[in-house]
Amino acid sequence: MKRFLLLVLICGSWFKPFAQDPVAQRYANQITPQDLKDLLSILASDAMEGRETGKRGQKMAAAFVRANFEDMGLTGPVDGGYFQPVELYTSIPGDIYVKAGQSKFINFESVAYYGSADTGGEVTLPAVFAGKGRKEDFDQVNVDGKAAVVSLGGEADFRSVIALARERKAKMVFVCNPDPNEFKEMLNQFKGFLSGGMLSTKKPEANSQNAGVFFASPDVAAKIFNTTPEKLAKATAEDPAKGALKKLKPSVVTYKTAMAVKVLKTENVLGFLEGTDKKDEIVVITSHYDHIGKKAGGEGDLINNGADDDGSGTVSVLEIAQSFAQAKKDGAGPRRSILFMTVTGEEKGLLGSDYYTQHPVFPLDKTVVDLNIDMVGRRDPEHKDSAPYVYVIGSDKLSTELHKLSEATNKTYTNLIFDYTYNDENHPTNLYKRSDHWNFAKNNIPIIFYFDGIHEDYHQPSDEVGKIEFDLLTKRAQCVFYTAWEIANREQRIVPDKK
Ligand SMILES: [Zn+2]
């Protein structure tokens, strides 16, 4: 909170409100609590079955969004249609194991394979121990074309270690947790997360270079190098410059990964409003209409309604679209074009927006901004009694001007408290990369992400319509509307000036 207060003090005087535009206000005021509630009561109803990607409920939700876009007079920009078909691939783990010495380790029993490659048959590689997998460790050994084995606790940042191993051209990476109990816990989590298959926008390639990662217990590493976990721990603890890693004899390891690939058909839903004199420039407003479906088992309510996540963002997109569409009918339409896009597959790894930015309907270099709305109908415990607020993430990352515009627009019209807690790139939740705007930011398109925080009903069947604060939701949706209005109508296009 301190950091946030400081930012307000520093920036407060810079962003002067400007004169209110009564035309913008007329259309912003057409976004109402009752309309949002009417829409959300359908979108987040039990009938939608939690809107899981590829399932019946998601298809029903897609039809609902499309019908609304059509009714309000938006056009379908995908060859005349509103659906952008998205093909996703599920790789379901089959016969997967690791062989080291005389031992065989079965997937989800003593190793966990995280990846989607199918090796066809067994692969045998030279194995090299790379300690804790730091740069100074990799400097001591050569993992090019080999299996790199590292020893990392659950707290460690294994993603960067794996990236480093790939950089050094390791063909396979074994991440061994030195704590057997911690590893057991990890194994259970991996099993829950991976056994149903991972979804991807890319077709898995057999024998691909990026073949994934094996997570393993300390025993597996010891068996690979024909030693004991204790000796490995000792080698890991020593300063790599002293050559402890080199003293371990290189060895070999054998593994097999077999995958059954299934194709899953889903769709992004797009509604387009053509601008006037700057119609080639596109303002994008996004939310994700998918959610996590039904709970696998248990008693009572099993449907994850996703009223807040991200029903709230999706009905906001619909209401904002409705207001812009009405403005256009009245001859007050925006100068730039606006693409309203509710995406699929967010909960499976930002897949719908990933697909869109790989197959954009409008050129990315003409795409001015993405305003992404994901969870805006609730309060988190930190703001239990606060005045209306919203977390604002990413507005200053690529464009100074966008950040200024966002602040000034809010001061002029909506006066929400902008909380920048999660805007800190060092914040452990890493939210800047955790919703669909990230796929736009990756392409150097300025973004703003609007978010209400983490609450106790996050990804639970209790994320229901009854818990939404519709007055607060309305204010936040109006804030996005005004920001879009300013961006779409100003003379100069918002440009990225930072990397
Ligand atoms: Zn979400």
Compute, in angstroms, the gap from residue 290 CA to the centroid of ligand 1. Answer: 8
SS3 state at 482: helix
Compute, in angstroms, the gap from residue 373 CA to the centroid of ligand 1. Answer: 9
Compute, in angstroms, the gap from residue 293 CA to the centroid of ligand 1. Answer: 13
Compute, in angstroms, the gap from residue 128 CA to the centroid of ligand 1. Answer: 41
Compute, in angstroms, the gap from residue 368 CA to the centroid of ligand 1. Answer: 23
Torsion of CA 7, 12, 13, 14, to 10 degrees: 70
Compute, in angstroms, the gap from residue 497 CA to the centroid of ligand 1. Answer: 28
Nearest to 10 by CA among 18, 19, 2: 2
Q: Give residue 7's pLDDT.
A: 44
Compute, in angstroms, the gap from residue 105 CA to the centroid of ligand 1. Answer: 37
Burial of 191 (0-12, 13-18, 19+ CB in 10 A): middle
Helices (H), 341-460: 351-358, 400-409, 437-441
Two structure tokens written together for 316: 């906001």
Compute, in angstroms, the gap from residue 374 CA to the centroid of ligand 1. Answer: 5
SS3 state at 193: helix
Compute, in angstroms, the gap from residue 313 CA to the centroid of ligand 1. Answer: 9
Compute, in angstroms, the gap from residue 447 CA to the centroid of ligand 1. Answer: 16
- Compute how many other C-beta atoms are within 10 angstroms of the C-beta atom of residue 336: 26
CA R_g for the chain:
25
Q: Give residue 208's pLDDT.
A: 56
Compute, in angstroms, the gap from residue 436 CA to the centroid of ligand 1. Answer: 9
Q: Give residue 9's pLDDT.
A: 44
Q: Give residue 4's pLDDT.
A: 43
Query: Phi then psi for 128, rounded to 5 degrees?
Result: -130, 135
Two structure tokens written together for 17: 């409100």
Tens of pLDDT, residues 186-198: 898 888 878 878 7
Compute, in angstroms, the gap from residue 435 CA to the centroid of ligand 1. Answer: 7
Nearest to 337 by CA among 285, 276, 269, 286: 276
Q: Give residue 394's pLDDT.
A: 98
Q: Give residue 12's pLDDT.
A: 45
Compute, in angstroms, the gap from residue 316 CA to the centroid of ligand 1. Answer: 13
Q: Give residue 3's pLDDT.
A: 40
Query: What is the C-alpha end-to-end distance of the chain, expressed in Å?
Result: 26
User: The tokens 């659906």 sit on which residue?
Assistant: 83
SS3 state at 132: coil
Compute, in angstroms, the gap from residue 89 CA to the centroid of ligand 1. Answer: 21
Compute, in angstroms, the gap from residue 308 CA to the centroid of ligand 1. Answer: 8
Nearest to 282 by CA among 335, 329, 318, 323: 335
Spatial distance between the Cα atoms of 99 and 101, rounded to a whole number of angstroms: 7
Spatial distance between the Cα atoms of 481 and 245, rounded to a whole number of angstroms: 58
Q: Give residue 5's pLDDT.
A: 42
Compute, in angstroms, the gap from residue 397 CA to the centroid of ligand 1. Answer: 21
Q: Give residue 205's pLDDT.
A: 67
Spatial distance between the Cα atoms of 175 and 195, rounded to a whole number of angstroms: 19
Compute, in angstroms, the gap from residue 70 CA to the centroid of ligand 1. Answer: 25
Compute, in angstroms, the gap from residue 375 CA to the centroid of ligand 1. Answer: 6
Compute, in angstroms, the gap from residue 377 CA to the centroid of ligand 1. Answer: 12
Compute, in angstroms, the gap from residue 439 CA to the centroid of ligand 1. Answer: 14
Instruction: Answer for the pair 196, 92: CB distance below 8 angstroms, yes or no.
Output: yes
Q: Give residue 10's pLDDT.
A: 45
Give buried/exposed letters for 422-438 (b at 16+ CB in 10 A, else e): bbbeeeeeebbebbbbb
Q: Give residue 194's pLDDT.
A: 85
Compute, in angstroms, the gap from residue 345 CA to the centroid of ligand 1. Answer: 10
Compute, in angstroms, the gap from residue 347 CA to the centroid of ligand 1. Answer: 7
Per-residue pLDDT of the chain (499 residues; tens, 9 = 90+): 334 444 444 444 457 789 999 999 999 999 999 999 999 999 999 999 999 999 999 999 999 999 999 999 999 999 999 999 999 998 899 999 999 989 999 999 999 999 888 888 999 999 999 999 999 999 999 999 999 999 988 777 888 899 999 999 999 999 999 999 999 998 988 888 788 787 888 887 655 555 789 999 989 999 999 999 898 888 888 888 887 777 788 899 999 999 888 999 999 999 999 999 999 999 999 999 999 999 887 889 999 999 999 999 999 999 999 999 999 999 999 999 999 999 999 999 999 999 999 999 999 999 999 999 999 999 999 999 999 999 999 999 999 999 999 999 999 999 999 999 999 988 888 899 999 999 999 999 999 999 999 999 999 999 999 999 999 999 999 999 999 999 999 999 999 998 7
3-state secondary structure 147-187: EEEEECCCCCCHHHHHHHHHHCCCCEEEEECCCHHHHHHHH
